[in-house]
Chains A and B, each alone.
Chain A
């Protein structure tokens, strides 16, 4: 089943500022809701998002219950060389997803 949508430009000029957009499929259940019978719906959220470029961490975010389902995270970075972006989402109940995208710098 589809889990991530990634938007990284395929090409860029050296020193360009590029925008990276990521969308991860997740229900982001807050843990504050109750069922009709009064039981708490257990929290089930993504807690951490990390982006590495050629192995080095360039962006990290902690996520909390107030963030809506299917979190859309975008950020900017400067590119100096060709390489691979690796994305990692970690969350409750052992949730762990990865995705990657390559960029060619001219």
Chain B
């Protein structure tokens, strides 16, 4: 009986470490899994359709909005300097709510609190445009998310969700993106799941989309119930993934197949 207990304990330990984390030196952006044609779309600003949202975002940045009649630019000035490196630190800890918030939620909180404007709906053209414009200012900047010690418990929760098997297919994120990233699924490359380019233009979506949209699609893919946009679980997962990609260069707005 004692030996049975010992085996169970050993299995539990093995289960916990069974998923091997990708060594730092072997981390690869989704970009490196793409064909040259798709890379070419991302590489050139006049070929990258994500730039349409960036240009829209630049216009929105300067547009006065809400009861205070203020534009983002009235407080933050020139985004090229004030927003440089900002996206590389999100999701970040929000003092007001005591939780991590992602870049979309930060923009909306700024809208509600400082512009006294209505928050923009998730995945709306305006919110994606502003996010893309802000993220674009950090293109090439190494990701720093997760440095704040207050984020530690939320990163741990995000990691737990990442490791958790769920859905009818009983898969966790790690089962594909840590254990099988050098293989293919239905002809498509399984990537390492580093969110280096969000918001990004997916050729499949024929549109720009957020990391939350991508995560929801993946969760639906394993036939689990996707969390609603803005759900704490999604933000924690975003936080874990960005921390996992720390040091990799931001590519927003990226292009993916």
- From A2, A7, A69, contact of B55 by CB (8 A): A2
B51–A5 contact, CB under 8 A? yes
A60 at interface by CB-CB < 8 Å: no
B26 at interface by CB-CB < 8 Å: no
Q: With A and B bound together, what is the CA distance between A37 and B52 in angstroms?
A: 32
The smallest beta-carbon distance between B57 and chain A, in angstroms, is 9
A5 with B52, Cβ < 8 A, contacts A21-B46, A23-B47, A72-B47 known: yes
A79 at interface by CB-CB < 8 Å: no
B49 contacts across to A, CB distance below 8 A = 5, 23, 25, 69-70, 72
Q: With A and B bound together, what is the CA distance between A25 and B46 in angstroms?
A: 12
A23–B207 contact, CB under 8 A? no
- From B47, B59, B206, B207, contact of A7 by CB (8 A): B47
A69 contacts across to B, CB distance below 8 A = 49, 206-207
Q: With A and B bound together, what is the CA distance between A5 and B52 in angstroms?
A: 8
B182 at interface by CB-CB < 8 Å: no
A1 contacts across to B, CB distance below 8 A = 56, 59
Range of interface residues on B (Cβ < 8 Å): 10 to 19
The smallest beta-carbon distance between A14 and chain B, in angstroms, is 24
A6 with B46, Cβ < 8 A, contacts A68-B203, A69-B206 known: yes
Q: With A and B bound together, what is the CA distance between A72 and B56 in angstroms?
A: 18
B45 contacts across to A, CB distance below 8 A = 5
B207 contacts across to A, CB distance below 8 A = 69
A2 with B59, Cβ < 8 A, contacts A25-B52, A70-B206 known: yes
Most chain B CB within 10 A, of A1, A6, A28, A69, is at: A1
A2 contacts across to B, CB distance below 8 A = 51-52, 55-56, 59
Partner-A contacts on B (CB < 8 A): 41, 44-47, 49, 51-52, 55-56, 59, 203, 206-207
9 closest Cβ pairs, A-B complex:
A2-B55, A7-B46, A69-B206, A70-B49, A5-B46, A25-B52, A2-B56, A2-B52, A1-B56
Partner-B contacts on A (CB < 8 A): 1-3, 5-7, 21, 23, 25, 27-28, 68-70, 72
